[in-house]
Structure 1
Amino acid sequence: MTPGFGVRLQTLEDAVVTIRADLTAHRAEFAAFHTDPSPTNALFAMWCPPPTGIVKCNFDASFCQQSLQGGGRAIFQDFRGEVLHAVIFCPFHAASPLEAEALVCQRAILCAFQLGFSCLWFESDAKVVVNGVLSGVHCPSEIASLCYDIQLDLRRFSSATLTHVRRSSNMVAHALVALSKLGLESNQMLTSLPPSVIPFVVADVRS
C-alpha cells in the first residue's frame, strides 16, 4: 500500500449526507437551464451508470512541471449516479504527467479497497495508463512497474474493471482535479461538492 495513504473514514457519513443535500438543492435550478437530455447535448452524453450492485469510480490527475508535484481526485457513484464518496489525494512527487496519472490510478484503487467496495468499475481518460495496465504491451518504461502493481491491486476485489473513457465521460473527476488543494498531508474526504462541479454530477444522476 502506498506510504501515507489514509482516508478519514470517520467523516464519511457526514460527507455523504452533505453532498446529497447539495445535489438536491441544485437540481431544480440546474434543470431550469438544461432541459435537453438528448445525446447531442454534451453535458448529458457523458457518463453511463454501472449496473446495480457495482460502484463506479472516476478519477483524474493534475501535474505541476515546476515543482514536479502531482495531485488528483476520485469520485465514487452508484447505479443512480448518486455520489457515494469523493476524495482529494494529497500532493505527491511525480516525474511526469504520465507518472502522475498512473499514481492517481493506483491511489483510487487503494482508496476503493479501503472503503470496503467489492465490485468496481474504474474509469480514466488516461489512455496510455489504462492500456499499460490492461495489456502491459508497449507500456512506457517510466510507469511499467506502477502498471504491474495496479494489476495486482485490482485482484483485491471480487470484481473490478479498468476502462479508458473520453474526457467527456470523466467530467466530474476532471472538474474536481482542477480544484486540487496544495499542502495536504493525507488524503481527504470532501464534505461538500464545489458549485462548479454540481451540474456535472446532476447530469450523471439524470443519465
Structure 2
Amino acid sequence: MDDLFRECPVSVTKFSKWKHPPNQTVKINFDAAYDERSSQAASGIVVRNTEGKALISCLEIHHQIGSAFAAEALACRRAVQIGIEMKWSKIIIEGDSLSIIKKCKENREDKSHIRAYIHDIQQIMSRSRNLTFEYIPRATNSLTHILARESMKKREEIYLVDSVPEYAEFQRVNDSVR
C-alpha cells in the first residue's frame, strides 16, 4: 500500500486569498453563472480599492446566451465598461476564466464563437492604457462567484455603490482582511 502512495504523487494547491490592489489601483473582479436550459446567464462584478472596500457591485441578467463561455465574456465586457466609464487611473480586471483572460490580453482578432464579445472588449480597452488583465483561481474569486450565482437564482439585477448585497457581505469582509 505504501508503494502505491509513493508512485502517485499528490499535488497540494495552496489556498490563495484575494489580494488588495497596489496603491491608486482598483481591481474589478468578474464571474458568471449560466443556465443552459433557459439560455440565461448572470454576471457578478465587484470593484474594490486598495483597502478592499467595495466601490461598486453589479449583478446583471442576460438572456439568449449560447454558452457558459459567452456568459464569462459578457461579464468581462461589463467589468471593462465599468472601469473605463469610471475613469480610474489604474485598473486590474480579474477573472477565473483563463481562456477569456488570455483572449483579452491577445492583440489579434479572435476566431472563436465569442469573437464579437472579445472584439467589443478590445475596442473598449483602446480608450485606456492603464487597464490590465489577471487570471485568479475560482477560490480566490469567490465574492463575484457568490454574486453571479445568487443573481441567477433570484433572477435579480442590482447595482450598488459602496457596498455589496447583504448575502455577500461576509465574503467581502473576509476578503478585505489582509
Same fold (TM over 0.5): yes
Are 2:164 and 1:202 aligned?
no
Aligned residues of 1:57 and 1:122 also touching (Cα < 8 A): yes
Cα distance between partner residues in 2 of 1:194 and 1:141: 34
Cα distance between partner residues in 2 of 1:193 and 1:55: 16
Distance 1:56 1:86, change over 3 A: same
Aligned residues of 2:59 and 2:156 also touching (Cα < 8 A): no
C-alpha deviation, 1:138, in angstroms: 10
Aligned to 1:124: 95
Q: What secondary structure sits across from 2:121 in the alignment?
A: helix
Aligned length: 162
Equivalent residue in structure 2 for 1:189, among 146, 159, 163? 159
Aligned to 2:4: none
C-alpha deviation, 1:122, in angstroms: 0.4
Distance 1:168 1:140, change over 3 A: farther
Are 2:64 and 1:93 aligned?
yes
Cα distance between partner residues in 2 of 1:150 and 1:58: 15
Amino acid at match of 1:99: A
Bigger CA radius of gyration: 2
Q: What secondary structure sits across from 1:178 in the alignment?
A: helix
Cα distance between partner residues in 1 of 2:165 and 2:120: 32
TM-score, normalised relative to structure 1:
0.70
Unpaired stretches in structure 1, ≥5 consecutive residues = 1-39
Amino acid at match of 1:96: S
TM-score, normalised relative to structure 2:
0.80
Amino acid at match of 2:124: D
Are 2:134 and 1:135 aligned?
no
Cα distance between partner residues in 2 of 1:118 and 1:90: 28
C-alpha deviation, 1:89, in angstroms: 1.6
How big is the alpha-carbon RMSD for the aligned residues of Structure 1 and Structure 2?
2.3
Equivalent residue in structure 1 for 2:143, among 169, 172, 178? 172
Aligned residues of 1:128 and 1:139 also touching (Cα < 8 A): no
Are 2:71 and 1:74 aligned?
no
C-alpha deviation, 1:195, in angstroms: 4.3
